[in-house]
Amino acid sequence: MKIETEEIFCKILEQKGVKLFVKRIDQIHKFVSGNKWYKLKYNFIEAKRKGSRLILTFGGAYSNHILATAYLAKKEGFRSVGVIRGQEILPLNPTLCVAKENGMDFYYLSRSDYRLKDEVDFLNKLKIQFGDFYLIPEGGTNNFAIKGASEILDFKDTQDYICCAVGTGGTIAGVINSKRNNQRVVGFPVIKGDGFLQNNVKSFAKKRGWVFINDYIFGGYAKLTNELVCFIDDFDKAHNIQLDVVYTGKMMFGIMDLVSKDYFPRGSTILAIHTGGLQGNKGMNERFNIQLPVY
């Protein structure tokens, strides 16, 4: 799989003497977010090794992870069940539509019951209903996922800074584990409550030299502002790179803002990982009547 890295050219980067590159793992697949591809890879190998026929996982109704799991499960010959947070809403939104087309069955859990999802009694109930399954946690983050995510960086990625959007922290943990010792990893969380996230990453990351910047959450998970939507639109027009509004748009906004605030020393090089997520823009466009770029 050939993955491109593109350099971004613009006035502010030139003024500040900083070079910015984008690693396009979003191009791996039209609607399977690039990082989900890496995170699921070893999970599917493990599921096969265990002889499982069914993959079960959890997520919100617009989740990139749900869609990625549905698609890859079908491709690899598994059945799949998505336990979806919230009530069933018909017609299905674009994310769940494609997941369903890929053979995924859904089980809806009310928001209040959703926290029970990791409990043994509940999982046993699901086993009775669907049969035995290989369980992938919400967001797909486990040791297999981190092993996969540690393959995102390769020997050509020698920039001083590596930037990555952070949801559950699995992707960035893999990136941290595969970075060079002199590289710094900068994470842009998209969810409030860094204590939990930092600890999650600490428990998986084996190296130092990483930091989270919590200034670009834009009010919370999947929340958006006009400023962010305009930024994504301008970025698309200027560089022909489409960003999603939940993850990569916030990260890129953060990077450009930090460049303007001299966070990155003159002469430094930055690699932003474009993790994908474009499929989610479709649902956002429908919900908010906006025009984010779609695949």
Ligand X SMILES: *Cc1c(COP(=O)(O)O)cnc(C)c1O
User: Which of 94, 169, 254, 293 is in the footprint of ligand X by CB under 6 A?
Assistant: 169
Q: CA 283, 288, 289, 295: dihedral to nearest 10 degrees?
A: -30
User: Which of 22, 165, 185, 270 is in the footprint of ligand X by CB under 6 A?
Assistant: 165
Mark the segment that binds ligand X (CB under 6 A) among 94-102, 113-121, 220-228, 241-249.
241-249
Residues 14-53 interacting with ligand X (rule: CB under 6 A): 33, 35-36
Size of the site for ligand X (CB under 6 A): 21
Q: Does 293 bind ligand X (CB under 6 A)?
A: no
Q: Does 64 bind ligand X (CB under 6 A)?
A: yes
Q: Does 198 bind ligand X (CB under 6 A)?
A: no
Q: Does 142 bind ligand X (CB under 6 A)?
A: no
Q: How far is the CB of 261 from ligand X (least distance, A)?
A: 23
Q: Does 283 bind ligand X (CB under 6 A)?
A: no
Q: Which residue's CB atom is positioned nearest to ligand X?
A: 277
Sort strands 19-23 and 5-8 into parallel, antiparallel or unpaired. Answer: antiparallel
* Measured distance CA(119)–CA(115) in Å, rounded: 9
Q: How many CB atoms lie within 10 A of CB 40?
A: 26
User: Which of 148, 170, 249, 254 is in the footprint of ligand X by CB under 6 A?
Assistant: 170
Measured distance between the N- and C-terminal CA atoms of the chain, rounded to whole angstroms: 19
Q: Does 167 bind ligand X (CB under 6 A)?
A: yes
Q: Does 168 bind ligand X (CB under 6 A)?
A: yes
Residue 15 is encoded by which pair of tokens? 């003024």
Contact 25, 152 (CB under 8 A): yes
Q: Does 277 bind ligand X (CB under 6 A)?
A: yes
Q: How far is the CB of 196 from ligand X (least distance, A)?
A: 12
Residue 20 pairs in a beta bridge with: 8, 270
Q: How far is the CB of 81 from ligand X (least distance, A)?
A: 19
Nearest 5°: phi and psi at 277?
90, 5
Q: Does 136 bind ligand X (CB under 6 A)?
A: no
- Per-residue contact string for residues 199-238; x = within reach of ligand X by CB under 6 A: ----------------------------------------
* Measured distance CA(153)–CA(242) in Å, rounded: 21
User: Which of 210, 247, 253, 264 is in the footprint of ligand X by CB under 6 A?
Assistant: 247
What is the 8-class DSSP label of residue 278?
Answer: T
Angle, vertex CA 98, rays to CA 284 and CA 141, nearest 5 = 80
Q: Does 82 bind ligand X (CB under 6 A)?
A: no
Angle, vertex CA 75, rays to CA 69 and CA 78, nearest 5 = 70
**Closer to ligand X by Cβ: residue 16 or 33:** 33
User: Which of 148, 276, 283, 293 is in the footprint of ligand X by CB under 6 A?
Assistant: 276
Q: Is 234 exposed, middle or buried (0-12, 13-18, 19+ CB in 10 A)?
A: exposed
* Measured distance CA(88)–CA(49) in Å, rounded: 33
* Measured distance CA(206)–CA(173) in Å, rounded: 8
- Site residues, ligand X (CB under 6 A): 33, 35-36, 64-65, 139, 141, 165-172, 244, 247-248, 275-277
